[in-house]
Amino acid sequence: MIMESQAFSGSQAVWCFKKEDVVNTSCETQEATRGKSLNYLSRFTALLIFAVFFSLQITHAATPETTVACVEGAEPLALAFGDSATGCAIDTGADTDTFEFTGNVGGEIRLNLRTLTKNLDPNMSLRDPNGVEVATKACVADSWSTCGFALSHTLTVAGTYLVTIGETGLDNAGNYNLQLEKLYPAIVPVGLEYDVAVADTLSPGTDMDFF
């Protein structure tokens, strides 16, 4: 005896057949396949909604970035907090570059230096408004690498500070980047909100961003 039964999935009708005690499983197979497809579609839709929602939550920070070009002969080059000095170079082994900035008592500052030329061994000296050397820093590179360092200092005298950069061995020349930052109190940090991602860029490598 042949019996005909009907199963519905959404708006489509699927016909299955029974013959005696043998069940044709084509209907069940189609239903299982359709169920898997709907499951995958639901997952994809959920991921898509999450991705769109997350992308809307990302804000791009507006950290002020200022670059100052190094000009030989116009030294000392005045720097403000947050400035990045670019195009700087030790032209000969005996060359020195000078920079200046104004600070207040209690200010925590950082000078980040990164060489762009291999084998350049830079050194840095920081002098307070009275001409007293208050901090020094240096790094050593070789013929296949560059180097960098960060000089941190808490200012104890208000006024204009002098930064001098030279080559330790007086035998190499090359380019470098210099960044002046104020750690505390920080310069106008970017505000953060809960559950909102912030995108920003560190450029050049000596850059620092505050939030």
Q: What is the pLDDT of residues 140-184, one digit of tens each?
A: 998 899 999 999 999 999 999 999 999 999 989 999 999 999 887
Q: Whole-angstrom distance between the N-terminal and C-terminal Cα of the chain? A: 79
Is there a domain that residue 208 lies in? no
53 vs 79 pLDDT, higher one: 79
Lowest mean pLDDT among 53-67, 100-114, 124-138: 53-67
Same-domain status, 51 and 95: no
Same-domain status, 48 and 83: no
Is there a domain that residue 206 lies in? no
**89 has a pLDDT exceeding 90:** yes
Is there a domain that residue 61 lies in? no
- Provide the domain limits for residue 91: 66-199
Same-domain status, 75 and 132: yes
**19 has a pLDDT exceeding 50:** no
Number of domains making up the chain: 2
Same-domain status, 105 and 126: yes
Same-domain status, 85 and 129: yes
Same-domain status, 195 and 100: yes
Same-domain status, 176 and 72: yes
Instruction: Provide the whole-model pTM.
Output: 0.63
Query: What pLDDT shows up at residue 164?
Result: 97
Same-domain status, 44 and 102: no
Is there a domain that residue 131 lies in? yes
Same-domain status, 116 and 143: yes
What does pLDDT average to over the chain? Answer: 76
Same-domain status, 14 and 112: no
93 vs 156 pLDDT, higher one: 156
24 vs 172 pLDDT, higher one: 172
Is there a domain that residue 209 lies in? no
Same-domain status, 51 and 76: no
Is there a domain that residue 159 lies in? yes
202 vs 125 pLDDT, higher one: 125
In 72-184, which ranges are E strands?
77-78, 83-90, 97-103, 108-115, 122-127, 133-138, 148-154, 159-167, 174-184
Report the share of the chain in percent with pLDDT over 70.
56
Q: Which residues of 25-50 are buried (b: 16+ CB within 10 A; e: fewer)?
A: eebeeeeeeeeeeeeeeeeeeeeeee
Instruction: Give yes or no for a contact between 185 and 93, defined as CB atoms under 8 angstroms apart.
Output: no
Question: Could you give the CA distance from residue 76 to residue 208 in angstroms, rounded to a whole number?
Answer: 23
DSSP-assigned beta bridge partners for residue 23 = 18
Out of 56, 75, 97, a domain closes at 56
CA 115 from centroid of its chain's CA atoms: 19
We report the CATH number of the domain holding residue 152 as 2.60.120.380
Pairing of strands 59-60, 198-199: parallel
Same-domain status, 80 and 164: yes
Out of 17, 36, 56, a domain closes at 56
Where on the phi/psi map is residue 47: left (φ > 0), alpha (ψ -120 to 50), or beta? alpha
Query: What pLDDT shows up at residue 156?
Result: 95
